[in-house]
Amino acid sequence: MANDGIQAALEDWNRRITAKAHAVVLAADRGNMKAAFYCENEAKKNAVREIYSIPIKKSPKTGKDLWKRTALYKAGIGSGVHPSLAHTAMIYASVPYAKWLEYGTSKNPKALYILTNAVMKNRAAINRLIAQAIGGVTG
Partner 1 sequence: MIDNTALVKSTLDPVGVLFSCPVIESSPESITIFPCVTFLDSGHDDSDFADGKAQADLVTVIVDIWEKADKETGIRKEVHQSVDAAMLKADWYKSGFAHLHEPSTDVHHYVQKYSKVEAQ
CA distance 40 to 118: 7
CA of residue 12 relative to chain centroid, distance: 38
Given 26, 111, 132, 135, the residue binding partner 1 (CB under 8 A):
111
Q: Is 105 in the site for partner 1 (CB under 8 A)?
A: yes
Q: Is 97 in the site for partner 1 (CB under 8 A)?
A: no
Output 105 or 138, the one with its CB closest to partner 1: 105
Q: Is 26 in the site for partner 1 (CB under 8 A)?
A: no
**What are the backbone angles phi and psi of residue 55, rounded to the nearest 5°?**
-65, 150
Helix (H) or strand (E) holding 57: strand 57-58
Q: Is 21 in the site for partner 1 (CB under 8 A)?
A: no
Output 13 or 103, the one with its CB closest to partner 1: 103
Three-state secondary-structure class, residue 53? coil
User: With contact defined as beta carbons under 8 Å apart, do 66 and 55 qualify?
Assistant: yes
Contact residues for partner 1, defined by CB under 8 A: 99-100, 103-111, 113, 116, 120-121
